[in-house]
Amino acid sequence: MNLMEKERLVRDKAEELEPASAEAVIEWAVSAFSNITFACSFGAEDVVIVDMLQKISPKTDIFYLDTDFHFEETYATRDRLAKRYNLEFVRGVPKLTPEQQAEQYGDELWKSDPNLCCNIRKVVPLTEILSKYDAWITGIRRDQAPTRANAKKVEYDYKFGLIKFNPIADWTSDDVWNYIRKHDVIYNPLHDNNYPSIGCSHCTRQVMPGEDPRAGRWSGKEKTECGLHK
């Protein structure tokens, strides 16, 4: 399938699947693309999709980017999910260890140049993983950030050169938590301690009452995305 054919498919399916349920979007995605993967960060949205995938297509690859800087609670959530569903997550790793990164770029790169840190520890490993697939699934929602407001349930990802599915793009935070409670889905306990959006431990803080849900990410910086989706 060439680029023009992919773009036509995306246009047709984006319109057709916009009113569809998240499960229906995932069902079509995995049936249309056998070589598809899901990017999991172990946040609330992503554990919902892990649960859906295990019911719809349990053999679909699920990967995560191990930046070496995740919270212990995030790694524990990974392990609990793996045990419950009897699955093995594909682990994406940076080329540089934290020690090598510090030696090459200086200590605490996430403070001096957070974009470079994210590029080394997230974007480059993601690019390598996605190069092996024809399509990917994400847990992004439109109301999470202005940069995600126009996300379609099916779109062509020009940055990584493959088709991208955002099955819960039209969900609210309440929709996510209603699903988690209804289906007793394992989730990161940091969510219960004022961490609505969870990234690396160095760049994520608690969100205070009245703040934007993503205010805890790269607090004090102009940065709002790690570079995976924009």
Is residue 214 very low, low, confident or very high in pLDDT (cuts 50, 70, 90)? low
pLDDT higher than threshold 60 for residue 192 = yes
173-184 burial, b for 16+ CB within 10 Å, e for fewer?
A: eeebeebbeeee
pLDDT higher than threshold 60 for residue 220 = no
Q: 58: number of CA atoms within 13 Å, CB side?
A: 9
| Cβ atoms of 3 and 9 closer than 8 Å | no
For the segment 54-112, what is each residue's pLDDT rounded down to a tens digit?
999 999 999 999 999 999 999 999 999 999 999 999 999 999 999 999 999 999 999 99
pLDDT at site 5: 87
| Cβ atoms of 84 and 47 closer than 8 Å | no
In the block, residue with structure tokens 């598809």: 36
Is residue 15 very low, low, confident or very high in pLDDT (cuts 50, 70, 90)? very high
Is residue 17 very low, low, confident or very high in pLDDT (cuts 50, 70, 90)? very high
Q: pLDDT: is 197 or 41 the higher one?
A: 41
How far is it, in rounded angstroms, from Cα 111 to Cα 95? 20
| Cβ atoms of 110 and 225 closer than 8 Å | no
pTM recorded for the entire structure: 0.90
CB atoms within 10 A of CB 22: 21
In the block, residue with structure tokens 């090459």: 104
| Cβ atoms of 165 and 26 closer than 8 Å | yes
Active site residues: 226
Characterize the bridge pairing of strands 162-165 and 61-65: unpaired
CB atoms within 10 A of CB 141: 20
Find how far residue 229's CA is from the centre of its chain. Answer: 9
Q: What is the mean pLDDT of the chain?
A: 92
pLDDT at site 229: 46
What is the tally of helices (H) and strands (E) in the chain?
9, 6
How far is it, in rounded angstroms, from Cα 53 to Cα 61? 10
For the segment 130-176, what is each residue's pLDDT rounded down to a tens digit?
999 999 999 999 988 788 888 999 999 999 999 999 999 999 999 99
